Amino acid sequence: MAYEMILAETHGPTAVIRLNRPKALNALCDQLMAELGEALRGYDADDAIFSIILTGSEKAFAAGADIKEMKDRVFPDVYLNDFIAKWEVVTTIRKPVIAAVAGFALGGGCELAMMCDFILAAENAKFGQPEINLGVIPGAGGTQRLTRAVGKAKAMELVLTGRFMDAAEAERAGLVSRIVPTETLLEEALKVGEKLASLSRPATAMAKEAVNRAFESTLAEGIRFERRLFQGLFATADQKEGMSAFAEKRPAQFTHG
Ligand code: HXC
């Protein structure tokens, strides 16, 4: 598929998907989301790729779902076609997906970033759920993921008032893993990609699954799940290699088995 609204390229073991609708601040229309889903699925299936970076421009990660495309939609269409269901591809990817966010991440843009495994924020990043100004509410997980990420008080304020949070506030609140200079955002994300590519694939996939399980289960169930995965890793060659390499004071060479 030739993409029109995203740019997809690989940097060694890391795929970079750049949302690319600059005139609309990367508003997330159906075509863009279809292209994004296809690119994500393709890289997830590609053995040469270890992780995926999702980014936008310096001005906007994404300013939300495309309001102009949505405005005349009626309930039966929105309900039956459930266009938001297609966005959830992001949450089904088994490789790490890093959101590298500069500029606006608003509405569906913030929700898309929150569907990724973690968010690296540029100093100029701005996060918000301004749907209330449009007479609606977040519809792609914003009320749930933002609340889990930053707690009720801040999530409620942002969702009720539409106020934007800058990168510093987002970091204090725990929405982003860290802040980097805007000019080096991609470089920093690619460094994470390099690190991820040096690690064991099964351990990486299980680590991702286990952390995600924390949001879907009780503490006791989550811990039981983690324990089984941890024990299961002792069946892998990568566990033998990783621990032997440590003991022998040499770098590990994982074979992903
Ligand atoms: C469609 C959008 C858009 C959007 C910006 N544009 N955001 N088009 N949908 N979400 C378009 C503008 O219409 C404009 O097009 C161009 O991008 C540049 O935007 P400006 O407003 O001129 O830029 P600026 O003055 O810098 O303001 C930036 C902004 C503002 C603060 C981000 O654009 C804004 O408030 N955007 C909407 C943010 C929002 O409400 N997001 C939530 C959407 S609802 P023209 O043609 O005039 O140049 C949502 C629900 C998700 O996301 C639910 C799940 C699907």
SS3 label, residue 122: strand
| ipTM computed for the complex | 0.98
128 lines ligand 1 (CB under 6 A): no
Q: Over range 2-8, report the average pLDDT.
A: 96
Ligand 1 in reach of 28 Cβ (< 6 A): no
Binned at pLDDT 50, 70 and 90, residue 2 comes out as confident
- pLDDT tens for residues 53-99? 999 999 999 999 999 999 999 999 999 999 999 999 999 999 999 99
| Residue 116 banded pLDDT, cuts 50, 70, 90 | very high
pLDDT of residue 223: 98
Nearest to 2 by CA among 31, 28, 44: 31
Mean pLDDT of 157-168: 98
In this structure, the answer to whether residues 231 and 127 fall within a common structural domain is no
Q: Are residues 57 and 126 in the same domain?
A: yes
Same domain, 69 and 190: yes
For the cut 90, the answer to whether the pLDDT of residue 232 exceeds it is yes
Provide the mean pLDDT of the chain: 97
191, part of any domain: yes
Angle, CA of 38, 145 and 67, to the nearest 5°: 60
Query: Whose CA is closest to atom 9 on ligand 1?
Result: 66
Q: For residue 232, what is the domain's CATH number?
A: 1.10.12.10
Q: Which one-letter amino acid corresponds to residue 158?
A: L
Same domain? 178 vs 204: no
* Shared-domain flag, residues 214 and 187: no
Q: What are the CA-CA distances from residue 107 to residues 10, 94, 110, 113, 253 (Å)?
A: 28, 25, 5, 10, 42
119 and 228 share one domain: no
Residue nearest to ligand 1 atom 36, measured at CA: 63
Instruction: Give the pLDDT mean for 163-178.
Output: 98
Give dist(CA 230, CA 217) in Å, integer.
Answer: 17
Pairing of strands 126-128, 104-106: parallel
| CA dist., res. 119 & res. 110, Å (int) | 10
**Residue 55 domain boundaries:** 6-197
> How far, in Å, are 27, 95, 178, 208, 210 from residue 48 at the CA level?
30, 12, 27, 19, 24
Determine the average pLDDT of the residues in 150-168. 98
Cα(220)–Cα(256) distance, rounded to whole angstroms? 29
User: Does 192 share its domain with 211?
Assistant: no
163 vs 155: CA distance, rounded Å: 10
Q: What amino acid is encoded at 98 in this protein?
A: I
Residues 167 and 244 in one domain: no
Number of domains making up the chain: 2
Sign of CA dihedral 81, 108, 185, 183: positive
Q: Is the CB of 245 under 6 A from ligand 1?
A: no
Please pick, among 24, 63, 65, 105, the residue that the annotation labels catalytic: 65
Say if residue 1's pLDDT is above 80: no
The predicted pLDDT at position 136 comes to 98
What is the 118 CA–ligand 1 centroid distance (Å)?
24
Q: Please identify which of the residues 131, 142, 170, 189 carries the catalytic annotation.
A: 131
Strand 6-11 to 14-19 pairing: antiparallel
